[in-house]
C-alpha cells in the first residue's frame, strides 16, 4: 500500500555532510510516524531518528547534535540532514514509516552512505 524510496546517499569524507530524502507514495495517508535506521557492516540495524506526523523528533545518542530529521507532509517526504559525518556513520540507511497504531510498518530499500577519506 505504501512505498518508501530513499535517495541522497553516497561517498563523503569525514566531517562532511549529506542530506537523505525519503519519498512516500501509495496510500500515504496511512503514515504517521517516520524514521531512519542504519545498518553498518557486521552490525544489526540501528535506530537513529524518528519524527512524528506533527514534527516532534527523537534521536539516538550516537547522532544527536549532528543529524536532523525533518519532514514535509505536503511533499510526502522525510529528510535526514547529516553533518559532521564520521567513519562510524557508514552503513545502509533505510527509511521507515508506520501507521498511527504501529500495526503496519513500511520500509524503503535503503541507500548507501560511506564516510571515508
Q: 5-61 pLDDT, tens per residue?
A: 999 999 999 999 999 999 999 887 778 999 999 999 889 999 999 999 889 999 999
Q: Supply the pLDDT for residue 75.
A: 86
CA distances (Å), origin 71, targets 79, 108, 110: 6, 16, 17
Q: What is d(CA 97, CA 14) in angstroms, rounded to the nearest whole number?
A: 29
Q: Supply the pLDDT for residue 8.
A: 98
Q: What is d(CA 51, CA 62) in angstroms, rounded to the nearest whole number?
A: 17
Amino acid at each position: 500500500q505504501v512505498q518508501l524510496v530513499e535517495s541522497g546517499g553516497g561517498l563523503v569524507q569525514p566531517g562532511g555532510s549529506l542530506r537523505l530524502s525519503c519519498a512516500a507514495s501509495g496510500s500515504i495517508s496511512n503514515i504517521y510516524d517516520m524514521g531512519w535506521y542504519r545498518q553498518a557492516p557486521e552490525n544489526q540495524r540501528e535506530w537513529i531518528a524518528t519524527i512524528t506526523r506533527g514534527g516532534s523528533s527523537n534521536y539516538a545518542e550516537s547522532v544527536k547534535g549532528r543529524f536532523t530529521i525533518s519532514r514535509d507532509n505536503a511533499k510526502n517526504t522525510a529528510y535526514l540532514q547529516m553533518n559532521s559525518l564520521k567513519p562510524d556513520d557508514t552503513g545502509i540507511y533505510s527509511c521507515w514509516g508506520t501507521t498511527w497504531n504501529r500495526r503496519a510498518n513500511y520500509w524503503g530499500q535503503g541507500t548507501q552512505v560511506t564516510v571515508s577519506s
